[in-house]
């Protein structure tokens, strides 16, 4: 086994499922992974050394004192499931590595999956949609197995027939497929305007599906409360913004109505898979500015540059004046 993988304690899991999560849009996948870790009995049994995959590019300041930052953790946890056919191996990566090292990290995670004879790899992701933060987010799914696609709709998900899943939450399934491992990704809907805001409501929607699909059960009450809190905080921001812009103390009903019933525009009719592709291209361009030209072409192709202009200029450290 690769020396970057450190086994702390050997385990003997029963038909385990591997759930692997990294940060991404809305922190949906990472948030779901942390919630599982905090609400299921588990212990850390392995980790991947981070030095090969991450760079120290700055320092931390603590009380005026300069400190070398800690490298992102890449840890495996084991949960023995007493009530179902599958144990759980949970991998949580604190950060996605630079693009050229994503494939190498994915291979090491799959190495561990093979070592313990996992039955399936499951990842989570977010997919931006024309919904509001008060909508009930839907869940989509993709799989490496044509047979599994026939079963997945029975768990209340829709099949995503085309598109792109950026980062390791998607790439890991492809690496697993290369080695003959079954894999599934559950993608939760998030509003376009909240891609940079933590979205526990969508993590909740995904975990409800995951519990039914895997037979691994845990309490979701804390996540329900967190979802309500974030929804209320977004409402407050929306109200404050309207008061600032219009100088009016608008009734809550009016704000809620405007939030829940957005007017359809030409941009609303852009296929979801194109929106997903654009988000992925933004991710690439944020790490490699040479990709900005291709991103600009894609935005112009769909007549979306004006909508994304501020984000595009932010890639160059500029704001529109």
Helix, strand, coil in percent for the chain, rounding step 5: 45, 20, 35
Phi, psi for residue 43 in degrees, rounded to 5? -145, 150
The C-alpha angle 87, 127, 227, rounded to 5 degrees, equals 70
B/e letters for 68-88, b = 16+ CB within 10 Å, e = fewer, are: eeeeeebbbbbbebeeeebbb
Domain 5-223 has CATH 3.40.50.300: no
- The pLDDT of residue 272 is above 80: no
- Per-residue model confidence (pLDDT) at position 289: 75
Name the residue among 156, 148, 52, 40 with its Cα closest to residue 92. Answer: 40
Q: How many CB atoms lie within 10 A of CB 282?
A: 21
pLDDT tens, residue by residue, 41-89: 999 999 999 988 988 777 888 889 998 888 899 999 999 999 889 999 9
Q: What digits encode the pLDDT tens for the residues 138-166?
A: 999 999 999 999 999 999 999 999 888 88
Sorted by where each begins, the domain ranges of the chain are: 5-223, 263-316
Low-confidence winner among 70-74, 261-265, 304-308 (lowest mean pLDDT): 261-265
Cα angle at 158 between 155 and 164, to 5 degrees? Answer: 125
Three-point CA angle 158, 203, 22, nearest 5°: 100
Express each pLDDT in 158-210 by its tens digit.
999 988 888 899 999 999 999 999 999 999 999 988 888 889 999 999 999 99
pLDDT at 65: 93
Compute the average pLDDT of residues 275-301.
80
pTM: 0.75
CA–chain centroid gap for 105, Å, is 17
Instruction: Report the C-alpha gap between 214 and 17 in whole angstroms.
Output: 8
pLDDT at position 119 is 96
- Tell me: the pLDDT tens digits for 96-143? 988 889 999 999 999 999 999 999 999 999 999 988 888 999 999 999
For residue 292, is pLDDT > 90? no
Taking a C-beta distance cutoff of 8 angstroms, is the pair 77, 37 a contact?
Answer: yes
């Amino acid at each position: 086994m690769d020396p970057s993988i450190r086994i702390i304690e050997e385990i003997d899991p029963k038909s385990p499922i591997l759930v692997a999560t990294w940060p991404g849009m809305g922190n949906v996948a990472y948030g779901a992974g942390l919630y599982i870790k905090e609400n299921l009995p588990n212990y850390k049994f392995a980790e991947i050394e981070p030095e090969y995959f991450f760079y120290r590019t700055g320092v931390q300041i603590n009380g005026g004192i300069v400190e070398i930052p800690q490298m992102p953790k890449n840890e495996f946890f084991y949960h023995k499931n007493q009530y179902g056919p599958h144990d759980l191996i949970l991998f949580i990566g604190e950060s996605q590595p630079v693009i050229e090292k994503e494939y190498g990290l994915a291979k090491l995670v799959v190495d561990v999956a093979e070592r313990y004879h996992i039955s399936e790899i499951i990842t989570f992701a977010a997919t931006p949609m024309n919904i509001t933060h008060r909508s009930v987010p839907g869940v989509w799914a993709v799989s490496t197995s044509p047979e599994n696609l026939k079963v997945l709709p029975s768990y209340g998900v829709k099949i995503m027939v085309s598109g792109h899943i950026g980062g390791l939450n998607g790439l890991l399934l492809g690496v697993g497929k290369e080695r003959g491992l079954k894999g599934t990704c559950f993608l939760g809907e998030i509003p376009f305007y909240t891609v940079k805001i933590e979205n526990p409501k969508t993590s909740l929607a995904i975990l409800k599906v995951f519990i039914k699909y895997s037979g691994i059960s845990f309490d979701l009450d804390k996540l329900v409360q967190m979802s309500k809190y974030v929804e209320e905080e977004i409402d407050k921001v929306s109200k404050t913004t309207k008061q600032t812009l219009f100088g009016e103390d608008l009734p809550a009903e009016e704000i809620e109505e405007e939030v829940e019933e957005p007017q359809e525009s030409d941009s609303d009719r852009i296929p979801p898979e194109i929106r997903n592709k654009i988000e992925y291209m933004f991710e690439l361009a944020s790490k490699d500015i040479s990709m900005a030209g291709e991103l600009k072409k894609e935005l112009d192709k769909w007549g979306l540059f004006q909508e994304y202009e501020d984000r595009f200029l932010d890639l160059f450290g500029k704001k529109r004046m």
